C-alpha cells in the first residue's frame, strides 16, 4: 500500500497542470510498477548546495521538465532579489540525454522572468560556461550535466557572478527560494523568448585564447610538436574544444579515440563515463599501446575531469590517479614559472582537505602559500575571491581528477588540463624522460605519498539513512587506533571541532561546516570519511606515506604502501 503523502503527490501529477505525456507515464507506473512509483514520489528531488542531480523520469524525486522548471523559478527569484531587474545568465549543457531539453527549459523560464539569457547553441564543456559567465558579465549561470554519473542521471549546476558554483550565503538562500515554489503553476514557463541570445563560436575563440595564454614553454612544444597524443572525449563535450586547443598549442600528432568521439548520452562503450575508471579508459589505453603513444588523456561528459595514462618505470601503460596528476601539474607550474622568471612573490596554490599532503611539500619547496579548503572547486574559487588583490593564484586541484589553472575560470577545467599535461609530457620528453620518471623523482624529493579511495553505495529510500548511521557511529565511537597506529587527531568538519583522543586536547576548525570526518594517525596516515552530496554513497579516502631514498626503491616501497592501505581497510572492516 502506497503512503498517503506519496499518493497525494501522484494525484497532483495527474492534474491538468502537467502535460499529457507526463500524466500517461505516471499512470503507467501506477499500473505496472508500484515500487518505482513510490521511489519517484517519496520525496522532492533536493536542490542542494550545488543544484540538482538525479535519475531522469517523472515524479518529484526525478530530473524532469517540472523539477528543473521549479528550481529555475526559485533561482530566478533570488537573482532578481540580489541584482534587481538587470540580470544576465549563461546556460550550457553536456551530451547527456535530455540535456538540451533541460537547458532550453531553463532558458525559457529565466527569459519569462525578464532575465537576459545567453544560451550556448549546442553542447559545451562546463568550464566554458564558467568562463562565459565572467566574460559576458553575467550574474549567474546554469549547466545541465550529471558529470560522470551513469547514463540514467542528469543534473543542474547553478553558478554565481564570479563563474563559481554557489557558496554561502547564496547557496542556502537559493535553496530557500526553490523550496518556496510549491506548485508547477507558480513557474513562468514562457513568454520572454526575445530575451534569449544564442552564443557559440565567439565564446569558443575567447576561451581557447585564454587557455593558450596558460602555456609556459611554447618553444619546447615547437620542438616536440610530434608528441604522440591519444585523446578520448568519452562521448562527451570535450570533442568540441580539446582538439582545437591542442592544435592551438602546437601539437600536430593527436589521435582521437574514434569509438568514443561522437557525443552520445547513452555512452555506448562504457558503463560509467568516468575517466577515473580503468574500464572507461580501456579503449584509449589499447590505442595508446598500439600507437606507442607518449600520453593518453580522457575527459568526462562535461569535460571538467581529466584522466591521464602514461608508461610506468617498466614501460607498461598505467592510469595515474587524481593525486598523482595534481602533483605533476602543481610542480610543473611552480617550477616552470620560477625557471621562466615569471613567479610572483605572492603566488599561492589551493587544494582540498582530502587531497594528498604532498601538495604542501611542493608548495613549501617552491616558497608559495598552500591553502586547504573543503572538497569542491567552489571552495577553491571562494578562496581565490578572498585572496584577490593580496595573493596571486596559480593552480588549484583535488584528488577527484580535477584541476583549475589560472583564475579566468572558477571551476575545474579538463580542457586546459589536457593541454598543460601534454605540455608537461613534451617538457620531459625534451629532456629524454617521461612524466612517470618525473613523478618518482618528486617522491624521492618530497616523500612517497600514496592514496586510495573506496566508495560504498547504499541505494533505495533508506540508503541515505544507512550512510548517516555509519557517520554517526564513527562520531559516537571513534577508533582510538587504526592498523596499530594511534589516532592523534580526530577532525570533525560538521561539528567544527578537532580533538586528540590520546590527550583530550580540543580545538576549533575554521572551515565552513561539512559532513566529513578525518582520522590522522601517529604514523602520518590519514583516513577521511565523506558522504556524497549528490549520490547515496559514502567515500573513504586513504593516504599513507614513506620515505623513498632512490628511484631504484620505487617498486618495493610502492608495494609496502599498497599493503599498508589494505591493512587499514581490513582493520576498519570496510
From the CA atom positions of the chain, what is the Rg in Å? Answer: 24
Beta-carbon contacts of residue 459 (< 8 Å; ≥ 6 apart): 536
Q: Hey, what's the cell of 127?
A: 568550464
What is the Cα–Cα distance from 116 to 44, expressed in whole angstroms? 29
Contact present, 488 and 521 (Cβ < 8 Å):
yes
The DSSP annotation for 517-570 comes to EEEEETTS-EEEEEE-SSSSEEEEEEEEEE----GGGHHHHHHHHHHHHHHHHH
What is the Cα–Cα distance from 6 to 43, expressed in whole angstroms? 8
What is the Cα–Cα distance from 111 to 474, expressed in whole angstroms? 47
Helices (H), 396-498: 414-430, 435-446, 463-476
Helices (H), 84-144: 99-112, 126-135
What is residue 474's DSSP assignment?
A: H
Helices (H), 59-180: 65-83, 99-112, 126-135, 170-180
Would residue 122 show up in a list of annotated catalytic residues for this protein? no
**Residue in 147, 215, 400, 528 annotated catalytic:** 147
The CA angle 45-461-64, to the nearest 5 degrees, is 25
**Residue whose cell numbers read 559532513:** 515
Contact present, 125 and 414 (Cβ < 8 Å):
yes
Active site residues: 147
Amino acid at each position: 500500500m502506497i503512503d498517503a503523502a506519496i499518493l497525494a503527490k501522484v494525484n497532483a501529477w495527474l492534474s491538468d497542470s502537467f502535460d499529457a505525456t507526463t500524466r500517461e507515464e505516471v499512470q503507467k507506473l501506477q499500473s505496472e510498477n508500484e515500487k518505482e512509483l513510490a521511489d519517484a514520489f517519496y520525496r522532492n528531488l533536493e536542490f542542494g548546495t550545488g543544484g540538482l542531480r538525479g535519475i531522469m523520469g517523472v515524479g518529484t524525486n526525478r530530473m524532469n521538465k517540472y523539477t528543473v522548471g521549479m528550481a529555475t523559478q526559485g533561482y530566478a527569484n533570488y537573482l532578481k532579489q540580489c541584482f534587481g531587474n538587470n540580470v544576465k545568465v549563461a546556460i550550457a549543457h553536456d551530451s547527456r540525454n535530455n540535456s538540451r531539453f533541460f537547458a532550453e527549459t531553463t532558458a525559457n523560464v529565466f527569459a519569462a522572468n525578464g532575465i537576459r539569457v545567453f544560451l550556448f547553441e549546442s553542447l559545451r564543456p562546463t568550464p566554458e560556461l564558467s568562463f562565459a559567465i565572467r566574460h559576458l558579465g553575467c550574474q549567474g549561470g546554469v549547466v545541465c550535466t550529471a558529470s560522470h554519473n551513469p547514463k540514467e542521471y542528469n543534473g543542474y549546476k547553478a553558478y554565481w557572478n564570479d563563474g563559481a558554483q554557489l557558496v554561502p550565503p547564496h547557496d542556502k538562500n537559493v535553496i530557500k527560494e526553490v523550496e518556496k515554489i510549491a506548485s508547477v503553476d507558480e513557474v513562468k514557463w514562457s513568454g520572454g523568448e526575445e530575451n534569449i541570445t544564442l552564443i557559440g563560436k565567439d565564446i569558443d575563440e575567447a576561451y581557447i585564447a585564454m587557455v593558450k595564454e596558460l602555456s609556459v614553454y611554447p618553444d619546447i612544444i615547437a620542438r616536440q610538436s610530434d608528441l604522440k597524443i591519444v585523446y578520448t572525449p568519452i562521448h562527451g563535450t570535450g570533442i568540441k574544444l580539446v582538439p582545437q586547443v591542442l592544435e592551438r598549442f602546437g601539437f600536430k600528432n593527436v589521435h582521437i579515440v574514434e569509438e568514443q568521439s561522437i557525443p552520445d548520452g547513452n555512452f555506448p562503450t562504457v558503463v560509467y563515463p568516468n575517466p577515473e575508471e580503468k574500464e572507461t579508459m580501456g579503449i584509449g589505453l589499447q590505442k595508446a599501446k598500439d600507437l606507442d603513444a607518449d600520453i593518453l588523456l580522457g575527459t568526462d561528459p562535461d569535460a571538467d575531469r581529466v584522466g591521464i595514462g602514461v608508461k610506468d618505470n617498466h614501460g607498461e601503460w598505467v592510469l595515474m590517479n587524481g593525486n598523482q596528476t595534481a602533483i605533476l601539474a602543481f610542480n610543473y607550474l611552480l617550477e616552470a614559472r620560477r625557471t621562466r622568471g615569471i613567479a610572483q612573490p605572492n603566488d599561492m596554490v589551493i587544494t582540498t582537505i582530502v587531497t594528498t599532503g604532498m601538495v604542501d611539500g611542493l608548495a613549501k619547496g617552491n616558497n608559495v602559500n598552500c591553502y586547504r579548503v573543503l572538497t569542491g572547486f567552489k571552495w577553491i574559487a571562494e578562496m581565490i575571491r578572498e585572496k584577490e588583490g593580496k595573493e596571486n593564484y596559480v593552480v588549484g586541484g583535488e584528488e577527484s581528477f580535477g584541476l583549475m589553472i589560472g583564475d579566468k575560470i572558477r571551476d575545474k577545467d579538463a580542457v586546459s588540463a589536457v593541454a598543460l599535461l601534454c605540455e608537461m609530457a613534451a617538457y620531459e620528453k625534451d629532456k629524454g624522460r617521461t612524466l612517470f620518471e618525473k613523478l618518482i623523482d618528486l617522491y624521492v624529493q618530497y616523500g612517497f605519498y600514496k592514496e586510495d579511495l573506496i566508495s560504498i553505495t547504499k541505494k533505495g529510500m533508506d540508503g541515505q539513512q544507512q550512510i548517516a548511521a555509519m557517520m554517526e557511529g564513527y562520531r559516537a565511537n571513534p577508533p582510538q587506533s587504526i592498523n596499530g597506529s594511534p589516532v592523534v587527531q580526530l577532525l570533525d568538519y560538521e561539528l567544527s571541532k578537532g580533538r586528540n583522543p590520546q590527550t583530550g586536547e580540543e580545538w576549533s576548525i575554521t572551515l565552513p561546516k561539512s559532513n566529513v570526518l578525518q582520522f590522522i594517525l601517529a604514523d602520518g596516515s590519514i583516513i577521511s570519511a565523506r558522504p556524497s552530496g549528490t549520490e547515496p554513497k559514502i567515500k573513504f579516502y586513504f593516504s599513507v606515506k614513506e620515505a623513498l631514498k632512490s628511484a631504484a626503491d620505487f617498486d618495493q616501497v610502492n608495494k609496502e604502501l599498497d599493503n599498508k592501505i589494505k591493512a587499514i581497510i581490513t582493520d576498519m572492516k570496510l
